[in-house]
Amino acid sequence: MIWKFLLAGVIGGGCYLDRTAAYQMMFHRPVVVATLMGWIFGDFFAGAQVGVVLELIYLVHLPVGASLPPDDTGAAIFAGSAAAFVSRDAGGGCFTALILLSVLCAELGRLVDAVVRKVNGRIARIARDAVERGDIKAVEQSLLAGLTLFCITGMLLALSFSVAGAAASLFLLPLIGADIGVDLSALALALPLVGAASVFACGRTEKTAWLFFLAMSAAFAVTMAARWMA
């Protein structure tokens, strides 16, 4: 078991690197990360299920200047790992509870991200002083130091969030009770709707609202018809 958590740490750390420091090729997106975590802990499909919900919720891009966005990679590591530990016969409310809990990781991860960037400021100052003294290769070492810092904190976050996810599933959910699915059914629908709103907010909302609701009505009708005929 332990090696699985270590693997989650290493792979999660890689996803964290992709998030800011290197490449930005979307390997840090919740749907990818949560599915990977689900796969590591033995339930690929459960990971993907929470991943798609988180993916859309955090999609909206807020024009807030220098403030950092919530750590959706961390939220996906938590929820994806946790989902794999939920037993198959538990209600769908468990996933809802896990996604809601994952917001704590998103905010914690954001705080850690801010600290990393502050430490990078120190590294940048050291680089500037070194260049001032004539050591221009110091730029390379500084970048390497920044990357290493991003990577190590990413791995530590991934390790802790996956452990926290497993713990939440194994200990917290049973504690809350078995009828969690029934109680949280209203919220279970609310989460994908928040995701849809997040997608909608990415468009030119005022001008294309009719298009959104038209597509929504059509898909709604088709989905119902398909289910009722089956």
Partner 1 sequence: MPLVLARIDCRLVHGQVVEAWIPHVKANSLIIANDAIVANHILRSVMELAVPVEVKARFCRLDQVAEMLKEADVADERSILLVSNASDAIKAWKNGAGFNVLNIGNLHYEEGKSQITSSVFFATGDFEALQWFRSNGVSVCVKGTPFESGILFEAEK
Partner 2 sequence: MSDISPKARRSVWRRHFLIQGCWNYEGMQNVGFAYAILPALLEIWTGQPEEAQKSVKRHLEFFNTHPVMGAVVLGAGVRLEEKAAGGEGDPAGVGAFKMGLMGSLGAIGDAFFWGALRPMASIAGVLLALFNPLAGIATMLILYNVSQLAIRRRGFQAGFSGQEAVVEWLKKESLNVKTNSRKLAVTVLGGVYAGIIMGKTVAVGATPLHIIAIFLAGAVIIRFVTEMFRKSVSPSEVLLFLLLLGVLILWK
Interacting residue ranges for partner 1, rule: CB under 8 A: 61, 63-67, 205-206
CB of 59 to partner 1, least distance (A): 14
Q: Which amino acid is at 85?
A: F
Cβ contact 74:157 at 8 Å? yes
Q: How far is the CB of 2 from partner 2 (least distance, A)?
A: 27
Neighbours of 56 (CB within 10 A): 20
CB of 119 to partner 1, least distance (A): 18
Instruction: Give the one entry of partner 1, partner 2, none that residue 65 binds, where binding means its C-beta sits below a cut-off of 5 to 8 angstroms depending on kind.
Output: partner 1
Residues 13-72 that bind partner 2 (CB under 8 A): 20-27, 29, 31-32, 35, 44-45, 48, 51-52, 55-64, 66, 69-70
**139 lies in the binding site for partner 2 (CB under 8 A):** yes
User: Minimum distance between the CB of residue 205 and partner 1, rounded to whole angstroms?
Assistant: 8
Find, among 18, 21, 5, the residue nearest to 148 by Cα.
21
Is residue 11 part of the contact set for partner 2 (CB under 8 A)? no
In the chain, what's the furthest Cα-to-Cα distance? 77
Distance, CA of 208 to CA of 195 (rounded, Å): 18
Is 204 among the residues that bind partner 2 (CB under 8 A)?
Answer: yes
Phi, psi of 23 (to 5 degrees): 70, -40
Question: Quick one: tokens of 103?
Answer: 């917001």
Minimum CB–partner distance for residue 6 and partner 2 (Å): 23
Number of helices and strands in the chain (H, E):
10, 0
Residue numbers 71-100 binding partner 2 by CB under 8 A: 96-97, 99-100
At 27, phi and psi to the nearest 5? -75, -5
184 makes contact, choosing from partner 2, partner 1, none, with CB < 5 to 8 Å by partner type, with: partner 2
